[in-house]
Amino acid sequence: MDEETASQTETQAAIRDATYRALCEHGYADLTIQKIADEFPKSKSLLYYHYENKDEILVDLLEYVLDQYTVYDAIDKDNSPEEQLWTFIDDSLPESPDEEQRESQLALFELRSRALSEEAYREQITRIDRLTHDTLAGILRAGINDGTFRAVDVEETVEILVSMITGAMLRRATTSENITTQTRAAVTQFINSQLLTEQETE
Amino acid sequence: MDEETASQTETQAAIRDATYRALCEHGYADLTIQKIADEFPKSKSLLYYHYENKDEILVDLLEYVLDQYTVYDAIDKDNSPEEQLWTFIDDSLPESPDEEQRESQLALFELRSRALSEEAYREQITRIDRLTHDTLAGILRAGINDGTFRAVDVEETVEILVSMITGAMLRRATTSENITTQTRAAVTQFINSQLLTEQETE
């Protein structure tokens, strides 16, 4: 990477950090380029050099986060399929979400809600949905092969899990009752009773 | 109802109709009182007489729709619990949604996304979540009593259903792939295999 590219990459990373902080603080509707600039340690003109409007910055942020997620991959492939599944559930529906986890889920749903009307967001959300689907399908297949999971219909079970986890996350983020415990318990119950072979005690 | 009240009620109904049409057409972010006024057959001053900003109109719309839903109650109590459950699923996740159903779900999620940051919306969304939960719990209890459904844990099963249905609706509304068929099939599969006693053929 030459010097110019390195400096550009650094600037874009700083823009993404500023955007993420501004989005968490103000929410989508109140977000402006000025508010992103307020969080940005460099010259505001750099923001306008790279982006024409806040949607361009946000779609770029979404795409970047998604690429990172794919590359980084929170799930340790050395772990058993059951451990991988619980890591995935812990990341999506933590039992006691801290402030940072709450903020990052709110930010994700702010961006997801843009996909209701904007095609550029919709494409990224479709990628997230596919990635979630494929990750879970891989874990399920591995767990069926090694006998941890029952021989369920993978496609159908993954569809149930993706909808259930997405819905539980949205319900946590948009209701004022504390439904943290029961949304997590329902997913746990489904996995224990439908997926794990060791639960077949009858 | 005296004449003044009747006229006020009529005006408010016309405002709600105009708001709903404007919301479907423009989405939340681009919605303005002017755009609601464009859909409103009466004088724009009536809008400002009743409401100070678009959020007040929208929260009122949400509250009204919810009260109507409670009073109207799409589910016929004379039907069997199984028929009631499928009516509920058909309303939430139609097999082939028409344009009107698509629009009304998009509008609902536009409003739901406001609950990420606004307490007034959050209160209404919490009511919707509770209402959905209680409606399904009532159907499940009736079905367990008459032997249509297995003796499942009602609270846990309802939590799974509400999250699964909410998530399936959101995924339909925010992804560009056509996932209408598989989101519905997953819910159907869950109900057939987990709830209905007649499916216990083994």
Closest CA to B15 of B26, B39, B6, B32: B39
- Could you tell me the two tokens for B41? 């057959």
- Cα gap A63→A65, rounded to integer Å: 6
Structure tokens at A195: 């997926």
The domain B1-54: what is its CATH number? 1.10.10.60
End-to-end Cα distance, chain B: 61
Low-confidence ranges of chain B (pLDDT < 50): 72, 200-202
Task: Say which of A113, A123, A169 has its CB closest to residue B113.
Answer: A113
Which one of A26, A116, A134, A165 makes the best mutation probe of the B interface by having the most chain B beta carbons within 10 Å?
Answer: A116
Q: Per the CB < 8 Å rule, is B163 touching A185?
A: no
Annotate A116-159 with DSSP letters as a single string.
Answer: TT-HHHHHHHHHHHHHHHHHHHHHHHHHHHTTSB----HHHHHH
Counted across chains A and B, CB pairs separated by less than 8 A come out at 148
Where would I find the H helices in A41-118? 44-50, 54-72, 81-92, 99-114
Judged by CB atoms closer than 8 Å, whether chains meet at B159 and A29 is answered as no
A176/B28 CB distance under 8 A: no
Distance from CA of A38 to the nearest CA of B (A): 20
Domain borders along chain B are 1-54, 73-199
User: Which of A164, A180, A195 to mutate against chain B (most B CBs within 10 Å)?
Assistant: A164
Residue in B15, B127, B112 with CA at minimum distance from that of residue B67: B127
Q: Which two tokens stand for residue A164?
A: 């259930």
pLDDT in tens, A116-147: 888 999 999 998 899 899 989 999 999 999 99
Are the Cβ atoms of A165 and B166 closer than 8 angstroms? Answer: no
Contact A159 B185 (CB under 8 A): yes
The pLDDT of residue B73 is 63
**CATH number for region A1-53:** 1.10.10.60
Question: Cβ B125–A174 below 8 Å, yes or no?
Answer: yes
Long-range contacts of B153-158 (CB under 8 A, 24+ apart): B153/A189, B155/A182, B156/A185, B156/A186, B156/A189, B157/B194, B157/B195, B158/B133
The answer to pTM > 0.95 is no
Task: Give pLDDT tens digits for A26-85.
Answer: 878 788 888 999 998 888 888 888 888 888 888 888 888 777 666 546 677 788 999 999
CA B33-B12-B70 angle, to 5 degrees, is: 115
User: Which of A127, A175, A195 to probe by mutation at the B interface, max B CB count within 10 Å?
Assistant: A175
How much is the pLDDT for B201? 44
Dist CA A170 CA B128 (whole Å): 13
Among the listed residues B166, B53, B163, the one whose alpha carbon sits nearest the alpha carbon of residue B118: B53
Pick the CATH number of B73-199 from 1.25.40.10, 1.10.357.10, 3.40.50.2300, 1.10.150.240: 1.10.357.10
> In angstroms, what separates the C-alpha of B46 from chain A's closest C-alpha?
26
User: How does pLDDT run across B91-120, given as a tens digit for each residue?
Assistant: 899 999 998 888 888 888 888 998 988 899
The rounded distance, in Å, linking the Cα atoms of B183 and A163 is 7
Arithmetic mean of pLDDT, A165-179: 92
Q: Indicate the residue type of B176.
A: S
β-pair partners for B196: B149
Residue A195: DSSP 8-state: I
What is the ipTM, given to two decimal places?
0.86
Query: Among positive and negative, which fits the CA dihedral B32, B25, B56, B114?
Result: negative
